[in-house]
Each structure stands twice: as C-alpha cells, then as structure tokens.
C-alpha cells in the first residue's frame, strides 16, 4: 500500500510541514488581520491560542498520521477499528478533506493575484504610480473574471503537477529548493524595510497590547488564524505525518514548526507594516493590504520594483508549498481507496477545486455586492466559504483533540510521544481539557456573529 512510503531524510517531515504552514496565512492574512483587529491585542490572543490549542493539536495530528501510516480518511477508519472506538471519529478525516478542498479553492485564486503582481512588479509597470492608479489597478483585476481565472488555473495546475510527480520526485524535491530560497527572500525584504520603512512604528504597533480593543469577532479570527496558519484540522499535517519516520521526535518537531511559522508571520508583519507606515499609508485595508497598500509602498521606494517582484515570488512560493499539502491528503485517499494512479487522483482534485474556485472568482465581480447572490446570502460566496472553513477547521481540531486525549489510551499515545514525563503530562492536560474547552468556547461564542 502506498501509505508505507516514508520521507527520504529525517528532516524532510519538518521541511514539508513548514512548507505547508508557511503560506498566504503568514504573508497575506496575518498582517491584514493584525491591521484590522487591533495590532498587539490580536497578536497576544493569537499567541495564546497557538500555545494552548495549536501546538497540542499539532502534536496530536502528526501522531494520528504517523501511527496510522495512511491518508487521513483511511487512517482514521483504521484507528477507530483497531482501537474499537466509535465510528464517529471517522468524521475527522472527512471534515478535514472537506475543509482542505474548500480552502484550496480560494487559496488558489488569491495566489493567482500574486502571479499578477509578480509580473507588474518585475516589468516595472508600477514604478512611480500613485495611490489612485494602484487601487484602480487592483479593482480592475478583481473586476476581470477571465484574467483571474487564467491565474487561478495556472496556480492550481502548477501545484497539481508537483503532487502528481509523487512525494519524493515532486513534493520533496520542490520543497528542498523552494524553502531555503523563501527564507533568504524574507530576510532581504526585512532588510529592505528596515532601510526604507518605519520599523519603529511597525514594532510599536505589533507589540502594543490593548486587549480592550479586541472584539469577539477578533477572538474568533485569532483562533481561526491559529488553525489556518499551522495547517491544522485539514488532514494536511496528518498526511505528511504518515510519511514521517519513527526515529524523529514528534514533540520537538511540532514545537519547531509552530515557532518557525510564528516567526515568519511576525517578520512578514514587521516588514509589511514598516513599509506601509513608512509610506504614510493606512494599515486597516483588509485583504487589499498586500495587493494595494504594499505595491504602493514599493512604487515609491528605490529599487522597489525589483524588491517588490522578489517579494511576490516569495508569496507565490509560500502559497505553492502550502497548496501541495492541501492536495496530498485527498490524493493519497483516492489512490488508496480507488486504486487510482497518482496523476489520475490529482487530476480529479484539481478539476474539482478549480471549478469550486470559480465561486471565489465571481465573488469579486459577477456575484459581488449588489448582485442577487449577495442579496440572498448577505455576503459573497468567497466570504461564505471562508466562514465555513473557519468553523470546519476548529471543529475538526476539536475532534482531533478529543480523540487523541480521550479515545486513545495513555499507553498507545506514549509510544509515539517519546518525551519526558513532565512534557507528556502537560500535553495530555492541554489536549484533554484546555484545547477542547477553548475551541468549543470560541465556536459557541461565534454562533451569534455568524448570522449577523
């Protein structure tokens, strides 16, 4: 069975998991959420949920993958059988697959915007452009379903190609080149922002904790973001964990993933805010922060076209290394369950997510605000899909915590988590009580907000 594949090197799981974790969530979503939901206060809540919820569930999810050695759906079926637990737990695999599918559909569209901006930057088209020109340009992109579909198609096809080549020739080789390059680019952008931006203002904004400025929606967004950024609850980490060799320390790897992911988000936030503050622009721009405000900042700075182009290549690379981890769990499932070849399985997924992605494409034009779709649902299809994934991820995370904390026995779990008694006790306490309680609380509190 293909589930017996393992990564070539000890460190490959960490490489792959960091590739999955570091993505649009760090470079695009984290900075704009921080800008919208009150800076440091948001970061504080986000850090708390990463520690008390994110890391324990990350450990649990890797563990489920590594013990089952199969795709999330088949793996959960296998685990419920061998541990004689309720079949309800199988829904972890299905919820994850559904969430992965939905996320991939919009992730690809947004990553497509980055293709557009890489091109604009490197050709120097935006040099010296004013705010009006740049925001008109973004509006023009959003109003062109055809152009957006072209980029969306390119991105999803490229990601699919990597996964179709297999976990060694495709995923491993791609990550081995891409990930080091991404870290170097991030440092270049940071250095550039220190020289040309207002790094003091950025640091001040990120580190001023004013909890009173955080709404309940902010709490929900922080929790959703901590799942999204660590790739939790979507089977991505479970699928990669299935290929992880048993000698590697699971706990240490999980903590490393969380630290690296958080550092990348903070560095990206610092660099982006430094450039935006330095250019005297408004940070509370929502999703447009990266595509309007940042290009504007680059347009006015020396060598901005080049550094901006390199920055958008970073965004693209980070997005691809994440999207392949969203394709992998479902691809592995189709291969195991229906005996498809890998390329066939990938083709099915790519075509299906491509089609659903068109809903996100039209959310910005044909079905935007003021159209019948918006009138019926009160929001765009993209916003609905995002909202749905913001619920699905915590829900599946909640079930992972409960399954690992309560359905599996302590002895079974101890085998995989070769750590000190103290760390083990701490993990078990968090995963049994704190993480489920926190997730359930935020999910419940978010219900009134959902229909508002």
Interaction site with ligand PHE (CB under 6 A): 20-21, 23-26, 103, 228-229, 231, 234, 236, 322, 325-326
Q: What angle do CA 319, 394, 442 make, to 5 degrees?
A: 125
- Cα–Cα distance, 46 to 226 (Å, whole number): 6
Using alpha carbons, list the distances in angstroms from residue 335 to 131, 303, 339, 340, 403: 49, 48, 5, 5, 26
CB closer to ligand PHE out of 58 and 142? 58
Residues 20-59 vs Na ion: string with x where CB under 5 A?
-x---xx---------------------------------
Which residue number places its CB atom closest to ligand PHE?
Answer: 25
Place of tokens 């931006």: 197
Nearer to ligand PHE, 268 or 274 (CB): 268
Record the tokens describing residue 364, joined without a space: 């910005």
Please list, in sequence order, all residues whose beta carbon lies within 8 angstroms of the beta carbon of residue 399, skipping any fewer than 6 positions away.
89, 91, 92, 95
Residue 326's binding partner among ligand PHE, Na ion, none (Cβ under 5 to 8 angstroms by kind) is ligand PHE
Which one, 235 or 304, has the nearer CB to ligand PHE?
235
Q: Which does 142 bind (CB under 5 to 8 A by kind): Na ion, ligand PHE, none?
A: none
Contact yes or no for 380/369 (Cβ under 8 A): yes
| Contacts (CB under 5 A) with Na ion, residues 220-259 | 229
Nearer CB in complex with ligand PHE: 61/198: 61
- 3-state helix, strand and coil shares in percent for the chain, rounded to the nearest 5: 80, 0, 20
Cβ atoms of 49 and 223 within 8 Å: the answer is: yes
Nearer to Na ion, 21 or 402 (CB): 21
How far, in whole angstroms, is CA 176 from its chain's centroid?
19
Binding residues with Na ion: total (CB under 5 A): 5
CB of 82 to ligand PHE, least distance (A): 27
Q: Are 93 and 76 in contact (CB under 8 A)?
A: yes
357 binds Na ion (CB under 5 A): no
The entry of Na ion, ligand PHE, none near residue 193 (CB within 5 to 8 angstroms by kind) is: none
Distance between CA atoms of residues 59 and 65, nearest Å: 10
Q: Which does 322 bind (CB under 5 to 8 A by kind): Na ion, ligand PHE, none?
A: ligand PHE
Return the number of the residue (265 or 439) whose C-beta is nearest Na ion.
Answer: 265
Selection from 332, 356, 307 nearest residue 103 by Cα: 356
Q: How far is the CB of 433 from Na ion (least distance, A)?
A: 26
Which positions touch Na ion (CB under 5 A)? 21, 25-26, 229, 261
């Amino acid at each position: 069975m293909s589930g017996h594949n393992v990564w070539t090197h000890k460190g490959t799981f960490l490489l792959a998991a960091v590739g999955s974790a570091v993505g649009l969530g760090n470079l695009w979503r984290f900075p704009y959420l921080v800008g919208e939901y009150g800076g440091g206060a948001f970061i504080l809540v986000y850090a708390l949920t990463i520690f008390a919820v994110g890391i324990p569930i990350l450990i649990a999810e890797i563990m489920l993958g590594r013990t089952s050695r199969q795709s999330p759906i088949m793996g959960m079926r296998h685990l419920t059988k061998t541990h004689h637990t309720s079949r309800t737990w199988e829904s972890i695999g299905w919820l994850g697959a559904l969430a992965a599918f939905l996320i991939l559909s919009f992730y690809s569209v947004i990553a497509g915007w980055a293709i557009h901006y890489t091109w604009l930057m490197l050709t120097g088209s935006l040099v010296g452009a004013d705010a009006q020109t740049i925001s008109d340009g973004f509006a023009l992109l959003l109003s062109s379903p055809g152009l957006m579909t072209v980029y969306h198609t390119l991105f999803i096809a490229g990601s699919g190609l990597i996964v179709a080549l297999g976990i060694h020739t495709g995923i491993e080789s791609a990550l081995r080149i891409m990930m080091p390059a991404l870290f170097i680019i991030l440092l270049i952008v940071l250095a550039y922002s220190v020289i040309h931006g207002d790094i003091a203002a950025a640091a001040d904004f990120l580190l001023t904790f004013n909890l009173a400025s955080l709404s309940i929606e902010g709490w929900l967004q922080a929790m959703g973001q901590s799942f999204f950024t660590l790739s939790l609850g979507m089977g991505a980490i479970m699928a990669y964990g299935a290929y992880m060799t048993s000698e590697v320390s699971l706990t240490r790897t999980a903590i490393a993933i969380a630290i690296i992911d958080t550092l990348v988000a903070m560095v990206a936030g610092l660099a982006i805010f430094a450039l935006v503050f330095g250019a005297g622009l408004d940070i509370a721009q929502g999703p447009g922060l990266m595509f309007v405000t940042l290009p504007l900042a680059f347009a006015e700075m020396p060598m901005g076209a080049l550094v901006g182009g390199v920055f958008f290549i970073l965004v693209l690379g980070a997005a691809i290394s994440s999207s392949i981890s969203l394709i992998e769990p479902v691809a592995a499932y189709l291969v195991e369950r229906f005996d498809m070849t890998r390329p066939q399985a990938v083709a099915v997924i790519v075509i299906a997510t491509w089609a659903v992605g068109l809903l996100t494409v039209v959310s910005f034009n044909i079905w935007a605000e003021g159209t019948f779709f918006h009138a019926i649902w009160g929001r765009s299809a993209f916003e609905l899909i995002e909202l749905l994934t913001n619920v699905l991820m915590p829900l599946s995370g909640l079930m992972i915590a409960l399954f690992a904390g309560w359905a599996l026995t302590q002895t079974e779990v101890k085998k995989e988590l070769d750590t000190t008694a103290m760390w083990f006790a701490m993990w078990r306490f968090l995963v049994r009580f704190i993480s489920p309680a926190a997730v359930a609380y935020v999910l419940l509190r978010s219900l009134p907000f959902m229909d508002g």
